[in-house]
Chains A and B, each alone.
Chain A
Amino acid sequence: MFDKIFPYLLAGVSVGGQYALIAVGYTMVYGILRLINFAHGDIFTAAGFFMVYISATMPLYLAIPLVTVLTVALGFTVERVAYKPLRTAPRMSIMISAIGVSYLLQNLMWYITGGLAKQYPVLPWISDSITLGSASTKVVTIVTPILTIVLVTALVMLIQRTKIGMAMRAVSKDFETAELMGIKINSVISTTFIIGSFLAAVGSMLYFTNYTTVTPTIGAMPGLKAFVAAVFGGIGSIPGAVVGAFIIGIAENLIRAMGYTTFSDAFTFALLILILLVKPTGLFGEKTSEKV
């Protein structure tokens, strides 16, 4: 019994780590802008395509940093072009803008690739196969959770210990007051998007090493799931997002193991609706109430 489930469990931990890296981007942006960045999943996909095209022309040791830089630049640009002008607009407008960006990125990627699935390059070492007990898997499966924990720990340290981290915390608590205290809102927001995109780039390298093909809409589902993970853990909370992501990753693979593959996506959303009903602020969320 355990031998049968073990490979799924392993896959769950791995995909959970990849979701976690995306989820952190969602939860940070939400924490600061109160915006569901619908385009985040597409930035993740774009990172995949960057790698496909760049690795075709240059060696991987150049391609990997370049892909990261490009992804970060894309995230930064999206924020500057599509979200910054709407800073004072109602929240619904900025959410619509996010949906518009997602639509644009997907169409753009479809146009550039001609809508065909592209083969993701084989990254050395992490694509190697190893055998763990009853399961044969790629090294990436083991690397992902470790790398995720390391990166997230670094991020939490950054937020707790550095000046920019303090500014981020201030902005997420109270946007306007933080601005009045002389915090440069725009650079804080940009930093948030840069970190989010960086993690999405790392996440995409790990994810596509597992799933090997990139299509223009492939990021939508992991993106949504990562968001659900962020909500599940309590939106705005980074450890929450990570825990949520691992739970969702593992749970959906266990559902696959039971033979209900059709429902693995639906399950995530059922879980979301359930958590919103039982504890709307998520596992680690703080309670907020509107002032009358």
Chain B
Amino acid sequence: MKKNTKTIVNLVLLALLFLAVWVIERTSSASSMLITVLKKGAIYALIAVSMNLLNGFTGLFSLGQAGFMLVGAYTYAVLTIPVAKRVAVYQMYAGGAIHFQLPWLVGILLAGAVAALFAALIGYPVLRLKSDYLAIATLGFAEIIRAIIQYEKLGPITNGSLLLKTYPTFKSTLFPFAAAAICIGIIVLLINSTYGRAFKAIRDDEIAAEAMGINLFRHKQMAFIISSFFAGVGGALLAMYQGTLQANAFKAAMTYEILLIVVIGGMGSVTGSVLASFLFIACSEWWLRFLDAEQFIGSFQVPLLRSGFRMVVFSVVIMIVVLFFRRGIMGDKEFDVEGISKWCRRKFGKGGAKA
């Protein structure tokens, strides 16, 4: 397929997707599970892709994603709370120290920028470490950030360990879709550029990449900063989706969840991460909900079903994927028109030839 045709087909598909989302939103009630899944799924898709850029495409095993999301979410929330409402939010801190409000778009961009700035600062020491030390150091960084944000003396800015709220949020499902689509689009462009190829070279063989004149540290740092930028944006979107924000939710467990999404989707596959995000959110928020409620068939109580069982089933499924389907849904392939047409030809082409 020609490159131009491919782009056009992809754009058409994207437009159709948006149309479908729009139709769904029009036809179902706002509290429907489908809408929840679509909103949260889109945000998680962005976050998962940003993590995949690091772990799947650059081969850096980083576990700091929740930390960067936290930075992004707080940057957004702190800067966009309406001045009039600050007194109510910062009850304990006399209205807080910030007396202006930025527009939401600026807030989101700054969320990314501040997260990226943090990444640049920690990346400098941390990226020189070997893979597993990098994992533990980034994990540690996320913990430090969380502690700092909850520090009482910073209360006038971060509201300490109390909730942040009343910052601008979104209503339409199309908003997180559009935001995620733009960001993921940029990441895809990056991955397919000469820099993206260098990232993949580093993933495949650091020593060979370096021998080909690729500055390892610089490129790793680039991937780290860019990934964190989008994690920050994702954090801001998540804050918007939730409506309230508290640092305590951004624990290591959140990073693990995102990592598992990336693994389920396939390390090194953008579409895999996107599909896995929606699947993950759909399972945890919707399809497997019934496992958490006690169920009766006649007078017979179905065993095992009670609160918490969903997550057990869920984690067993994840372990099965990790152990037996290590390549995840997509491996490092992409789900695109070309792939589908090739697959169809292989599947049905043979039958057609026989007939």
Residues of chain A at the chain B interface (Cβ within 8 Å): 34-36, 81-82, 85-86, 89, 91-93, 95-97, 99-104, 106-108, 110-112, 114-115, 217, 220, 224, 227-228, 231, 262-263, 265-266, 268-270, 272-273, 276-277, 280, 290, 292
Q: Is B147 an interface residue (CB 8 A)?
A: yes
Q: How far, in Å, is B257 (CB) from chain A's closest CB?
A: 8
* CB-based contact B315/A82 at 8 Å: no
Task: State whether A266 and B207 are in contact (beta carbons under 8 Å apart), knowing that A91-B132, A111-B308 are contacts in the complex.
Answer: no
Task: Give the 10 A-B CB pairs with smallest separation, nearest first.
Answer: A269-B140, A111-B308, A266-B147, A104-B315, A107-B311, A266-B144, A100-B322, A107-B315, A277-B125, A111-B312
* CB-based contact B256/A97 at 8 Å: no
A111: nearest chain-B partner, CB-CB: B308
Complex Cα distance, B252 from A106, in Å, reads 13
Contact code string B136-154 (vs A, CB < 8 Å = 1, else 0): 1101110110111011100
* CB-based contact A115/B252 at 8 Å: no
Complex Cα distance, B132 from A231, in Å, reads 11
B256: nearest chain-A partner, CB-CB: A99
* CB-based contact A231/B136 at 8 Å: yes
* CB-based contact A104/B312 at 8 Å: yes
Q: How far, in Å, is A146 (CB) from chain B's closest CB?
A: 30
Residue from B130, B140, B319, B326 in contact with A82 in the complex, judged by beta carbons closer than 8 Å: B319
| B106: chain A residues within 8 A (beta carbon) | none
* CB-based contact B312/A101 at 8 Å: no
Give the dominant DSSP class at A's interface: helix
Complex Cα distance, B319 from A108, in Å, reads 13
Query: Of residues 299 to 333 in B, which have CB atoms within 8 Å of A's CB atoms?
Result: 306-309, 311-312, 314-316, 318-319, 322-323, 326
* CB-based contact B147/A265 at 8 Å: yes
Task: State whether A114 and B143 are in contact (beta carbons under 8 Å apart), knowing that A85-B323, A97-B322, A107-B315 are contacts in the complex.
Answer: no
* CB-based contact B133/A280 at 8 Å: yes
Q: Is B269 an interface residue (CB 8 A)?
A: no
Q: How far, in Å, is A112 (CB) from chain B's closest CB?
A: 8
| A103: chain B residues within 8 A (beta carbon) | 253, 256-257, 260, 315, 318
| B263: chain A residues within 8 A (beta carbon) | 96
8 sampled A-B residue pairs with Cβ under 8 A: A86-B326, A111-B306, A111-B308, A111-B312, A114-B307, A224-B143, A262-B151, A266-B143
* CB-based contact B318/A95 at 8 Å: no
| B257: chain A residues within 8 A (beta carbon) | 103
Q: Select the residue from B59, B140, B309 with max chain A CB neighbours within 10 A.
A: B140
* CB-based contact B318/A262 at 8 Å: no
Residue from B132, B135, B136, B322 in contact with A93 in the complex, judged by beta carbons closer than 8 Å: B322
| A92: chain B residues within 8 A (beta carbon) | 55, 59, 61, 131, 267
Complex Cα distance, B33 from A269, in Å, reads 39
Q: Is B35 an interface residue (CB 8 A)?
A: no
Q: Is B259 an interface residue (CB 8 A)?
A: yes
Q: Is B186 an interface residue (CB 8 A)?
A: no
Task: State whether A111 and B135 are in contact (beta carbons under 8 Å apart), knowing that A92-B61, A95-B61, A290-B207 are contacts in the complex.
Answer: no
| A292: chain B residues within 8 A (beta carbon) | 207
Q: How far, in Å, is A78 (CB) from chain B's closest CB?
A: 11
Q: How far, in Å, is A124 (CB) from chain B's closest CB?
A: 33
B59: nearest chain-A partner, CB-CB: A92
| A36: chain B residues within 8 A (beta carbon) | 132, 135-136
Q: How far, in Å, is B274 (CB) from chain A's closest CB?
A: 19
Task: For the A-B complex with A262-B147, A272-B137 known, give 20 more contacts whose Cβ atoms are closer than 8 Å.
Answer: A92-B55, A92-B131, A96-B263, A100-B315, A100-B322, A103-B318, A104-B319, A107-B315, A108-B312, A111-B311, A111-B312, A114-B307, A224-B139, A266-B143, A269-B141, A270-B140, A273-B141, A277-B128, A280-B130, A290-B207
Complex Cα distance, B142 from A272, in Å, reads 13
| B314: chain A residues within 8 A (beta carbon) | 107
| A272: chain B residues within 8 A (beta carbon) | 136-137, 140
Q: Is B126 an interface residue (CB 8 A)?
A: yes
Task: State whether A101 and B136 are in contact (beta carbons under 8 Å apart), knowing that A111-B311, A277-B125 are contacts in the complex.
Answer: no
Q: How far, in Å, is A156 (CB) from chain B's closest CB?
A: 24
* CB-based contact B126/A100 at 8 Å: no
Q: Is B129 an interface residue (CB 8 A)?
A: yes
Complex Cα distance, B308 from A217, in Å, reads 14
